[in-house]
Amino acid sequence: MPVITNNPNLHHPDLEGEPFLWQAGSTGVLLVHGYTATTAEVRPLGRILHAQGYTIAGPLLPGHGASPEEANRYRWQDWVAAVESAYQQLQGVCQRIILGGESTGAVIALYMAADHPEAQGILAYAPALKLNLNRWDVFRLHLLAPFVTAMPKARLDADSLWQGYRVNPLKGAIQLLHLQKQVRRRLPELRQPLFVMQGRLDATVSPRAPQTIYNQTGSSLKELHWMEQSSHCVILDCELEQAAKLTLGFLRKIELETD
């Protein structure tokens, strides 16, 4: 489902948001974008990693790059199926695969890691395991979703580089809540090397989420990094260069462990 050029439903429709596969070395990195976004969200980091010899895949989640109404048609299982397809594609060209993503994409990567213990690592950027929502917010979301397609977003982080919907489709947002529950149960199953990163200025994801993931996984090699000047889109923000440097260092640790 390619992004339609000049799609008026998208913020920055001029950016590249289609699914991609950039081949290079024998280590593949799967980078999954977040809810309401497109692959434009993971391309800047993907380009840096690709330039260092990594094969990079960026799937486009069903319901994204089209319209808010389209986003409400799909379940979280459909998102996972699309990422599974990209994973299988990477398996055909790579010896080792790292699962990664931003926000909802990071939560999908964690879910996939439980299904694929053979995956060699996890990169979780601003993992949306818990949002900055209170109980009333969640109740209101469920109350409105059958009647209201979407609600406007309070802000757009990393505005100049981000592509996606300017609103939050409500039925799709409920699917994220369902996915969160599934992943919380599966965290103790995870044993792969784990890299978690979040911006201190993130107003979308709860600051408790990264520590929860770090504490509850069984990984022997794991890192948690806070980017002091970054918002939710931590791999698009002003500290992208440092985020990429830390990521590359972690990937090299994985390669040293598995060579």
Find the domain containing 81 and state its range. Answer: 10-258
Residue 90 lies in a domain: yes
With beta carbons less than 8 A apart as the criterion, state whether 60 and 30 touch: no
Residue 153 lies in a domain: yes
pLDDT at 5: 58
Q: Report the predicted TM-score, pTM, of the whole model to 2 decimal places.
A: 0.96
Residue 1 lies in a domain: no
Beta carbons within 10 angstroms of residue 220's beta carbon: 10
CA 144/CA 127 separation, integer angstroms: 25
List, in order, residues 6 or more apart from 80 with CB less than 8 Å away: 108, 111, 112
160: CATH: 3.40.50.1820
pLDDT at 4: 47
Beta carbons within 10 angstroms of residue 155's beta carbon: 9
Give me the DSSP letters along 168-198.
Answer: EEHHHHHHHHHHHHHHHHHGGG--S-EEEEE
Smallest CA-to-CA distance from 230 within 58, 105, 49, 103 is with 103
pLDDT at 115: 96
Residue 4 lies in a domain: no
Tell me the CB-side half-sphere exposure of residue 92, using CA atoms within 13 A: 9
Alpha helical stretches, state H, the chain: 43-51, 68-71, 76-91, 104-115, 135-144, 170-186, 208-216, 240-258
CA 69/CA 140 separation, integer angstroms: 19
State the total domains in the chain: 1
Per-residue pLDDT of the chain (259 residues; tens, 9 = 90+): 444 457 889 999 999 999 999 999 999 999 999 999 999 999 999 999 999 999 999 999 999 999 999 999 999 999 999 999 999 999 999 999 999 999 999 999 999 999 999 999 999 999 999 999 999 999 999 999 999 999 999 877 777 899 999 999 999 999 999 999 999 999 999 999 999 999 999 999 999 999 999 999 999 999 999 999 999 999 999 999 999 999 999 999 998 887 6
Residue 5 lies in a domain: no
Tokens at 110, concatenated: 């964690």
pLDDT at 154: 82
Tokens at 135, concatenated: 């109980």
